Amino acid sequence: MDDSAPLPLQPKLQILKLQARGEEFRIPQLLGNLFICSPANGNCCCGRPEKGRMPFDNRQYEQEWEARHLRARVHLTFSGCLGPCAVGNNALLQIHGRSLWFKDLNQPALIPALFDYIEQILKAGQIVPPSSLLQGHLYERYIPTTPAEDDPLAVLSMPTPDADGAERLDPVCFMDVDPATAKHFVEYQGRTIYFCAPSCKRLFVKDPAAYLPT
């Protein structure tokens, strides 16, 4: 593989014909989608300096995406909350059938590094290990169903499933709450349950069974 070779500007589009509302539409079939958690869509933490995160600027992502001519290969979406708020700024890259999660994108240099990685995957035509800059930011959020020995990312120190500390999680939003400093909590069935905010506590108190695993 020649890493220095640019991606062709206009890849040959593969077109899907889909029916919707009784009409036929054509849409390009893509290789992936990059989702960026954006405060513009009502999230709680990512991109919010008051929460200690790098301020969000959608142009940082848009300029990289446009400059690399990724439009016909990887769609760019600014989303609402992706879920793991405690480790944001967060991004999710779905590509070649995989979901690659990125956390703690709180340095400007990580944004071009993320797009470099997308280009490396596209050039290789498969998932490849990330650069050293990104390694500590990539993790596996979904429980894998394929054997690790076939996974090119298994060489990374992926987090292992571990229930330690599960009692620290706000059961409503899954935010990691430090019991030593938690301001919002209730006693429920002999244990203390911690919340990140009064809104989570209210939801829990209204219907605890909806939030605790059976």
Take residue 12 and report the two structure tokens written for it.
């040959």
Q: What is the nearest approach in angstroms of ligand FES to the Cβ of residue 89?
A: 7
Binding window for ligand FES (CB under 6 A); candidates: 28-36, 63-71, 80-88, 185-193: 80-88
Q: How big is the site for ligand FES, counted in residues (CB under 6 A)?
A: 12
Residues 132-191 close enough to bind ligand FES by CB under 6 A: none
Q: Which is nearer to ligand FES, 31 or 88 (CB)?
A: 88
User: Least distance (Å) from ligand FES to the CB of residue 99?
Assistant: 14
Contacting residue, 63, 69, 72, 83, with ligand FES by CB under 6 A: 83
Judged by CB under 6 A, which stretch of 2-10, 84-92, 185-193, 198-206 contacts ligand FES?
84-92
CA distance 104 to 15: 36
Contact in structure between 30 and 67 (CB atoms under 8 Å): no
The nearest distance, CB 84 to ligand FES, in angstroms, is 6
Of the candidates 82, 111, 172, 196, which one interacts with ligand FES according to CB under 6 A?
82
Cβ nearer to ligand FES, comparing 92 with 118: 92
Distance CA 207, CA 72 (A): 45
Q: What gap in Å lies between CA 75 and CA 165, rounded to an integer?
A: 36
Nearest Cα to 83, choosing from 44, 137, 134, 138?
44
Cβ distance to ligand FES smaller for residue 80 or 112: 80
105 touches ligand FES (CB under 6 A): no
Q: Among residue numbers 18 through 77, which ones bind ligand FES (CB under 6 A)?
A: 37, 43-46
> Residues in the site for ligand FES, rule: CB under 6 A?
37, 43-46, 81-85, 88, 90
